Structure 1
Amino acid sequence: MTVRQPPDLTYKHPKCYANSRGGCSTKISGEHYVSHALIKLYTFDDPSVVIKPTANYRIPVDIKPKNFVANVLCTRHNNDLSDADSTALDFATFLRDIAIRYKNGGGEWGPAETIEVSGDDFQRWVLKLIITHAAADVFTEGDGKRVTTIIPDESIDLLLDRAEWPRTWGLGVTGNLSNSHLKFDPFTRAEVVINEWWSAQPLIKHDPRTLLGGIVDLAGVSFTMCIFNQSEALLHDDKINPLLGVLQRPDSLTWILDGVPKTIQFRWNDRWQHRPITFTMHR
């Protein structure tokens, strides 16, 4: 009989960015820069597809999507975040299917549709994508040089659901259409379902350089992520402010065309206020 030893909950893998409180497995895994399932979705699961990473990823050759990874997370913590990846896939699939049928206004909008996804898991997915990029040092400055940043332990506790999100931290969506930094239209540009379906950029505090969050685009919609008190930044009306008019943790996102809504309903388990956001579209 083989006796299995319980996992060492104090072990900290030196290459795992989520090792702040231990609980690591002894094996490091390849964490995708953006969820593998999303890449497969947007490439129609074509086995011949290759990715051409930009120079900052330090991958000098064209690679298969399964290899677009950073070795920055242990197997156990990677597996713990699988629900976040599934939620992002559900979100993107819903919007992408509508966009393909709509054909930039040349197709059908169709009947009212609603999908419900976990807001908590989607918030974690946005944070995970940003932290993965920061842990692999692939974010760049204006001159193209890579930026090394400190990843706060608090962000890991939030990522692994060890702590409650503070009211003024977390996910946000534009509530002010004059904010040119944030996208809100998943349907009227073909590029959104071809080659501009995701991106990530950081928010960094200098001296010392510390990760404060970032902006992630998925399926034509921009999401802000703040791991700091953003309440003051939300009020600054400077056009260079990416947080201008952001609404935190929306109850739902709805796009209405000709009176017909398409809605993503977020399910939250926190105690904070959640307000619906509606975008009215025109042909």
Structure 2
Amino acid sequence: MTTTTGSADFKHPKCYANTEGGCSTRISGEHFVSHSLIRLYTFDDPNVTIQHDNGFGVRHPVSPRRFVANVLCEAHNNGLSDADAAALKFATFLREIALRYQNGSGDWGVNESVEISGDDFQRWVLKLLATHAAGNALTANGELVKSPILDDSIHLLLNRAAWPTTWGLCVAADATNPELKFDPFSRIETATDNWWGVTPMLKNGDQTLIGGVVELAGVGFGLSLYNPGRELPEFNLPANPLRGSIRRPSVMAWELKGVRKQVNFTWDDHHEHKNITYTMQRS
């Protein structure tokens, strides 16, 4: 397919990433969750259908090619392919291990690792949240909400700006926080049919998208598009879904009897990056 690009300052009215122009003249169907991930988890079954389970967004079963929102132009959609690739690489790695492990009745195997761009994966989490916001598929307290997207979020998504130190991706470091899941191997459904999810964080009043939690392959990733105040006591209150988390890990690892399955995230920023290891026990 040929992408027809408008002038450098052309802003397609249906493209949520049009803040500084650079749009193509044709709008595209942006999948609510990456098409490559749907194909992975359904074994590319041509007869599979998918829908949102919250009653909004895509409200009835459709083929994967129709699980889309017309919210990005072709140019900006194509420009986010590296983000989709990072998510696919992460999910493929964990899913293959989970299918072999079979909830503890199978084989944990030997040490394994994979290297993934943390920058691209962080953008994928933001893209999923932004697409749901632009596609009117977010809910709060069971009700559909229209959630504006900050221009700053678009600049981060399109790699036009550096992430502030206090913003960005985070993962669980506190086992008591149920919002940030960290065990992709003990529930086989995370490798089959319950493999993704999205929960937004919205600003009081105008419902602006300020972050959220995205699940992929049984792992929860928090994202803040503001300073959540980690240094404050309130950060660790039960109502905060990001409590007890660490930002932008360099390593996420799962260890069972000395054998590690490890995701190495690479980052181009100058922030601190910590390692996190989750110790597993065979049930």
TM-score computed with the length of structure 1 as normaliser = 0.95
- Please give the alpha-carbon distance, in whole angstroms, between the structure 2 residues aligned to 1:255 and 1:114: 10
Pair 1:6–1:83, CA change in 2 (3 A): closer
- Mean CA deviation greater in 172-181 or 89-98: 172-181
Q: Give the structure 1 partner of residue 228 of structure 2.
A: 230
Tell me the CA shift for residue 48 of structure 1. 1.4
Tell me the CA shift for residue 54 of structure 1. 3.5
Q: Give the structure 1 partner of residue 262 of structure 2.
A: 263
Q: Give the structure 2 partner of residue 148 of structure 1.
A: 146
- Mean CA deviation greater in 47-56 or 105-114: 47-56
**Are the equivalent residues in 2 in contact too, given 1:130–1:202 (CA < 8 A)?**
yes
Tell me the CA shift for residue 233 of structure 1. 7.4
- Please give the alpha-carbon distance, in whole angstroms, between the structure 2 residues aligned to 1:214 and 1:61: 24
- Please give the alpha-carbon distance, in whole angstroms, between the structure 1 residues aligned to 2:279 and 2:224: 27
Q: Give the structure 1 partner of residue 128 of structure 2.
A: 129
**Are the equivalent residues in 1 in contact too, given 2:5–2:24 (CA < 8 A)?**
no
Tell me the CA shift for residue 61 of structure 1. 3.8
**Are the equivalent residues in 2 in contact too, given 1:233–1:244 (CA < 8 A)?**
no
- Mean CA deviation greater in 203-212 or 214-223: 203-212
- Please give the alpha-carbon distance, in whole angstroms, between the structure 1 residues aligned to 2:170 and 2:262: 17
- 1:198 and 2:192 aligned: no
Tell me the CA shift for residue 234 of structure 1. 6.9
**Are the equivalent residues in 2 in contact too, given 1:182–1:221 (CA < 8 A)?**
yes
Tell me the CA shift for residue 231 of structure 1. 2.8
What amino acid maps onto 1:135 in structure 2? A
**Are the equivalent residues in 2 in contact too, given 1:198–1:219 (CA < 8 A)?**
yes
Task: Among all aligned residue pairs of Structure 1 and Structure 2, give the percentage whose two residues are the same amino acid.
Answer: 53
Q: Give the structure 1 partner of residue 182 of structure 2.
A: 184
Q: Give the structure 1 partner of residue 92 of structure 2.
A: 93
**Are the equivalent residues in 1 in contact too, given 2:155–2:161 (CA < 8 A)?**
yes
Pair 1:92–1:141, CA change in 2 (3 A): same
2:144 match: secondary structure: coil
CA-atom RMSD in angstroms: 1.5
- 1:212-231 map, 5 Å: 212-231=210-229
- Deviation readout 1:22-76 (Å, 9 max, x if unpaired): 1111100000000001011111111111124336435454211111000000000
1:73 match: secondary structure: strand
Q: Give the structure 2 partner of residue 243 of structure 1.
A: 242
What amino acid maps onto 2:190 in structure 1? V
- Please give the alpha-carbon distance, in whole angstroms, between the structure 2 residues aligned to 1:156 and 1:233: 27
- Please give the alpha-carbon distance, in whole angstroms, between the structure 1 residues aligned to 2:41 and 2:207: 34
Tell me the CA shift for residue 209 of structure 1. 1.9
**Are the equivalent residues in 2 in contact too, given 1:234–1:243 (CA < 8 A)?**
no
- Please give the alpha-carbon distance, in whole angstroms, between the structure 2 residues aligned to 1:265 and 1:166: 22
- Please give the alpha-carbon distance, in whole angstroms, between the structure 2 residues aligned to 1:117 and 1:92: 11
2:132 match: secondary structure: helix
2:96 match: secondary structure: helix
**Are the equivalent residues in 1 in contact too, given 2:253–2:278 (CA < 8 A)?**
yes
Q: Give 4+ residue runs of structure 1 displaced > 4 Å after superposition.
A: none
Question: How many positions carry a matched residue from both structures?
Answer: 278
- 1:1-283 map, 5 Å: 7-54=6-53, 56-142=55-141, 144-232=142-230, 235=233, 236-283=235-282
**Are the equivalent residues in 1 in contact too, given 2:5–2:75 (CA < 8 A)?**
no
Pair 1:241–1:233, CA change in 2 (3 A): farther
- Please give the alpha-carbon distance, in whole angstroms, between the structure 2 residues aligned to 1:55 and 1:177: 27
- Deviation readout 1:178-202 (Å, 9 max, x if unpaired): 1121100000111111221100011
- Please give the alpha-carbon distance, in whole angstroms, between the structure 1 residues aligned to 2:52 and 2:205: 29
